Amino acid sequence: MNILNFKRKKRELMNRGWKEKNEEYLEQLQRFLDIADNIEEQNLRKTVIAQMLKCDLILTQLAEKEFSKYEEKSKNS
C-alpha cells in the first residue's frame, strides 16, 4: 500500500467517528443485530448481517463524500 492510499484509508477511518458517536445510530444498529441474532439458520443470519453492513458502508461513503463537498465549498468561499 503506498503512502497516498494509506493516508486516504486513515482519513476514511477517522471520519467514521461522526457515525459511531451517534447514539441513535448505535441504538438502531444494536436493535438490528438483536433481531438478526434471532434468525435460527446461521448462513441466513450471516448473509442478512453482511448485506446490511454493506449497505451501511455505502451510505456512510456517500455521506462522507457530501461532507467533503461542503468542506471544499466552505474553503473556497
| Burial of 66 from C-beta contacts in 10 A (0-12 / 13-18 / 19+) | exposed
**Coil/strand/helix, residue 25:** helix
User: What are the respective helix, strand and coil percentages of the chain, to the nearest 5?
Assistant: 85, 0, 15
Can you say whether residue 2 is alpha, beta or left, with left for phi > 0 and alpha for psi between -120 and 50 degrees? beta
Please give the pLDDT value at position 48. Answer: 96
Please give the pLDDT value at position 44. Answer: 97
pTM above 0.75, yes or no: no
Please give the pLDDT value at position 38. Answer: 96
- Domain range for 24: 3-76
For the chain, what is the domain count? 1
Each of the 77 residues of the chain gets a pLDDT tens digit; together they read 556 665 566 556 556 788 888 999 999 999 999 999 999 999 999 999 999 999 999 999 998 888 888 888 888 87
